[in-house]
Structure 1
Amino acid sequence: GQSVRDAKEYYGKRLKKTSDLQSNACMTPAQPTPTFIREALKKVHPEVIARYYGCGLLVPESLEGCSILDLGSGSGRDCYMLSQLVGEKGHVTGIDMTEGQLDVARKYLDYHMTEFGFQKPNVSFVQGYIEALTEAGLQKNSFDVIISNCVVNLSPDKRRVLSEAYAVLKDGGELYFSDIYSSSRLPEQIRNHKVLWGECLGGALWWKDLLQMAEATGFSLPRLVTATAVTVDNKELQDILGDFRFVSATYRLFKVPKGQSKGCGVMYNGGIPGAETVLHFDCCYTFNANEAVEVDQELASILKHSRFAEDFTFQPPGGSCEPRGIPAEVSANAVDPFELALKSGKQGLASATGGGCCSTRSADCCK
């Protein structure tokens, strides 16, 4: 479609460096980044970093040995950083529609494997569209984790993106992604604006539509991790946008059975790299190592059926299960990301995981 061609032109020709962008929607603000990630990034070739236009640092936990797919991998910065986190037994696949970006990524494959001390490559790159993962040759039920930085909004068919992601994920797999969301559904005038589209704003989904879309696809309801307000510096663009507001938010969606677990007590065993003593799972749940916490039915199912199963000790339910005294209807999948962004800005709480697409902060939204 036209929007895909526009995006290819914007990211393949118009943008030569990150400073060409007109808003902070697709940029990485200064924020605390865990030491082990900073060290991994230091080993990524400077040209790969210079040509990377993704927004934020997207790093879910417990990745060792995992098979990861990066949607819209660009020049490969995140792929090469994740390559070190999954280790030689894991694998990272990057898919991107822009040939020029893939050329940069592939150019430095041998360089990085030598730098990491790996005997054989654990990274590969595929040219293709995020709405057509299986068509690009990716196998169904083959990935543990899919990550995406600010590219789903560039797709004209977001429902198909989620459907394809669901298909290539293994049972228990996770889609962990950051993107830009709007305060309500955007009119055609904004959606068809070439610059707003390229800036990750024109294609922004109304956040409530994401919840509906994910559930219809088969995923668990999206769990909100972080949210940050997006600012637009260009007055001409501001005038076009009017009263529409935008937020950058990170969500985690899991491919797990529904209603298979009762609410129960769980205890984080600790030891996940970067989250050795504290695991910030989402904006409602922070797990301290060796401390029992009551969780609801949905989160119990996620933890039991995902890669986190071995990181937790599960205890029988102790009567009614209302997590930390929070009403059952309030959970990370029901939180308004605009409210969280406002609360985050006021409280100034830094995201422990480095955040995602422009996400610099997180707050406990369930207090």
Structure 2
Amino acid sequence: MSAPRAAVIHKDVQNYYGNVLKTFADLQTNACVTPATLVPKYVQETLKNVHEDVTSRYYGCGLVVPERLENCQILDLGCGSGRDCYMLSQLVGEKGHVTGIDMTKAQVEVAKTYLEYHMKKFGFQAPNVTFIHGCIEKLAEAGAQQESYDIAVSNCVINLVPDKEQVLREVYDTLKYGGELYFSDVYANLEVPEDIKSHKVLWGECLGGALYWKDLAIIAQKIGFCPPRLVTANLITIQNKELESVLGDCRFVSATFRLFKLPKTGQAKRCQAVYKGGITGHEKELIFDANFTFKEGEAVEVDGDTAAVLKNSRFAQDFLFTPLVAELPAARSCSGLETKDIITDPFKLAEESDKAKPRHAPDSAGGCCGKKKSC
């Protein structure tokens, strides 16, 4: 994409989120609303402490709360009005720190306005949150130091940036080895056509700039990240008939992925991993991603990539590892189960999740993107 075109998109996004949208009720699609029913109880408690003015300006397509956050240094990409920052602030504690960066000055000003309110609400002696006005594809220029963060999070923001590869490259540089990017975003089932990319409302609504989901793995591994790990995915539905007609064959999902930056060590071997338990909010069971769930005390066979991630990240202290007695046959999945395929396609996961919903369950179209009353 040309520099002039990228500059126009930046200006349009700043206007859309700074002036057009006043609250989440102004959104024209359901791609940026998260229903509270999907939020774990311990996270719900933290959200209750966030000021309503901050929450009302929240636009996100998922829940970006990875596990084991105590004392971590976190970078929130596209922090907006600061809702996720203030939520994460409570989970990292006073010894941790959260830095939020956003390109929309009006949003950053809202976030800063309530800094003192939240620190007092949380009972913290000193602020553990900092807000920066800047672009997420220029983190170094904005002041983010290299190899200084344990975790980077992003909630429905990377799709708004023209150069996704540059964003991931900047994030990779700021992460410590063993760190991860845990992010929710919108993905398309095909390369998004130019007429959709150039549609101002569709770009602002997180659809026009959606990445073709297969390209994520290509870009991530080119930069140096481990293969993306799919966590959750939910189909996005469009209630606006005019916008739906523009989209044609394009379908979208909101999906959460984790990308790990690991040290350059030898390839880890398949092994058995036993979760010790005890992680806050996940004491008895850790749902690591769509393919691996670890229950306290139970041995789970994991593939080499998963073993490498668990052994070289902040999760190392939470697991016991033992080698397999014999290598698994090649035909078997890396989870050790012949009947289970590893899911990497967010559309496949979203469709399976949708089928598994009880028929009496309330409709939450988009899953992490709940149906809006205004549609």
Q: TM-score over 0.5 for the alignment?
A: yes
Cα distance in 1, alignment partners of residues 346 and 243 from structure 2? 23
Answer yes or no: is 1:186 the counterpart of 2:192.
yes
- 2:100 is matched with which residue: 81, 89, 94? 94
Displacement after TM superposition at 1:52 (Å): 1.9
Answer yes or no: is 1:266 the counterpart of 2:277.
no
- 2:336 is matched with which residue: 322, 325, 333? 325
The range that moved more, 139-148 or 42-51, is: 42-51
Partner of 1:359: 368
Answer yes or no: is 1:252 the counterpart of 2:261.
no
- Is the contact made by 1:220 and 1:254 (CA closer than 8 Å) also made in structure 2? yes
Partner of 2:291: 284
Displacement after TM superposition at 1:12 (Å): 0.5
Displacement after TM superposition at 1:243 (Å): 1.0
Partner of 1:160: 166
Displacement after TM superposition at 1:29 (Å): 2.6
Partner of 2:52: 46
The one-letter amino acid paired with 1:300 is A
- Is the contact made by 2:159 and 2:211 (CA closer than 8 Å) also made in structure 1? yes
Answer yes or no: is 1:232 the counterpart of 2:234.
no
**Quick one: structure 1 residues 358 and 76, their matched pair in 2 at CA, closer, same or farther if it must change by over 3 Å?**
farther
- Is the contact made by 2:186 and 2:211 (CA closer than 8 Å) also made in structure 1? yes
Displacement after TM superposition at 1:119 (Å): 1.1
The one-letter amino acid paired with 1:303 is L
The one-letter amino acid paired with 1:235 is K
Displacement after TM superposition at 1:323 (Å): 3.7
- 2:79 is matched with which residue: 63, 73, 81? 73
Cα distance in 1, alignment partners of residues 295 and 325 from structure 2? 19
- C-alpha RMSD over aligned residues: 1.7
Partner of 1:344: 353
- Is the contact made by 2:32 and 2:369 (CA closer than 8 Å) also made in structure 1? no
- Is the contact made by 1:113 and 1:121 (CA closer than 8 Å) also made in structure 2? yes
Answer yes or no: is 1:145 the counterpart of 2:154.
no
- 2:15 is matched with which residue: 9, 12, 16? 9
Unmatched 5+ stretches in structure 1: 350-356, 362-367
- Is the contact made by 1:43 and 1:112 (CA closer than 8 Å) also made in structure 2? yes
- 1:24 is matched with which residue: 17, 21, 30? 30
1:153-205 C-alpha deviation (Å, 9 max, x unpaired): 00000000000000000000000001000000011111111000000000000
The range that moved more, 54-63 or 337-346, is: 54-63
1:236-265 C-alpha deviation (Å, 9 max, x unpaired): 111110011101100000001464311111
Partner of 2:248: 242
Displacement after TM superposition at 1:217 (Å): 0.8
- Is the contact made by 2:30 and 2:369 (CA closer than 8 Å) also made in structure 1? no
Partner of 2:127: 121
Unmatched 5+ stretches in structure 2: 1-6, 359-365, 371-375
Displacement after TM superposition at 1:35 (Å): 1.5
- Is the contact made by 1:68 and 1:143 (CA closer than 8 Å) also made in structure 2? yes
Cα distance in 2, alignment partners of residues 51 and 360 from structure 1? 15
- Is the contact made by 1:27 and 1:358 (CA closer than 8 Å) also made in structure 2? no
- Is the contact made by 1:80 and 1:112 (CA closer than 8 Å) also made in structure 2? yes
Displacement after TM superposition at 1:41 (Å): 0.8
Displacement after TM superposition at 1:234 (Å): 0.8
- TM (normalized to structure 1)? 0.92
Cα distance in 1, alignment partners of residues 162 and 369 from structure 2? 27
Cα distance in 2, alignment partners of residues 113 and 205 from structure 1? 37
Partner of 1:364: none
- Is the contact made by 2:99 and 2:132 (CA closer than 8 Å) also made in structure 1? yes
Displacement after TM superposition at 1:325 (Å): 3.0
Deviating runs (4+, > 4 A) in structure 1? 327-330
The one-letter amino acid paired with 2:336 is G
Partner of 1:209: 215
**Quick one: structure 1 residues 344 and 17, their matched pair in 2 at CA, closer, same or farther if it must change by over 3 Å?**
same
Partner of 1:297: 304
- 3-state SS in 2 of match to 1:294: strand
- 3-state SS in 2 of match to 1:244: coil
Cα distance in 2, alignment partners of residues 128 and 150 from structure 1? 17
The one-letter amino acid paired with 1:33 is V
Cα distance in 1, alignment partners of residues 278 and 129 from structure 2? 26
Partner of 2:228: 222
Cα distance in 2, alignment partners of residues 7 and 265 from structure 1? 47
- Is the contact made by 1:257 and 1:301 (CA closer than 8 Å) also made in structure 2? no
1:42-87 C-alpha deviation (Å, 9 max, x unpaired): 1111111112222332111110110001000011011001000000
